[in-house]
Amino acid sequence: MGWDGALATVVECPEDPKSHVFVGLYEITPDDEKSLDEWEGVTIGLYTKIRIRVHTLDGFPLAWLYVLNGYEGGLPSARYLGTMADAAEAAGAPSDYVSELRRRPCISNG
């Protein structure tokens, strides 16, 4: 299944160095990690998995982050952006963060 637009990744934002990304953290088994790597395309070179330290209310744990290889920019499809906003909302992201996601420019699924 394709998403008909740009894929999500995390990139540095020079215009706003204090910008942030809301994330959901999960503890997973080694088998689930392997499956997730396959789902995210690590095994075919679509994404690279890197280890980062994230800021939470409870501290600064280490987490995996999938970074898109060959990111060139572009707009996501409305369907893809809606999926990300729905997931952020379900994970308890702040309402202003979810609203900002829903207002981002996108490609119509028309």
Residue 1: pLDDT band (50, 70, 90) is very low
Same domain as 104, residue 94: yes
Residue 49 lies in a domain: yes
d(CA 92, CA 42): 27
The two tokens of residue 44 are 């075919």
d(CA 100, CA 21): 11
d(CA 65, CA 99): 23
Residue 3 lies in a domain: no
Q: Which residues pair with 64 in a beta bridge?
A: 51
Same domain as 80, residue 60: no
Same domain as 109, residue 59: no
pLDDT for the residue 106: 93
Residue 104 lies in a domain: yes
List pLDDT tens digits, range 66-79. Answer: 999 987 778 999 99
pLDDT for the residue 2: 61
pTM for the full predicted model = 0.77
> Which structural domain range is residue 37 located in?
8-73
d(CA 58, CA 53): 13
List pLDDT tens digits, range 18-32. Answer: 888 888 888 999 999
Cβ atoms of 9 and 69 within 8 Å: the answer is no
Residue 22 lies in a domain: yes
d(CA 29, CA 18): 33
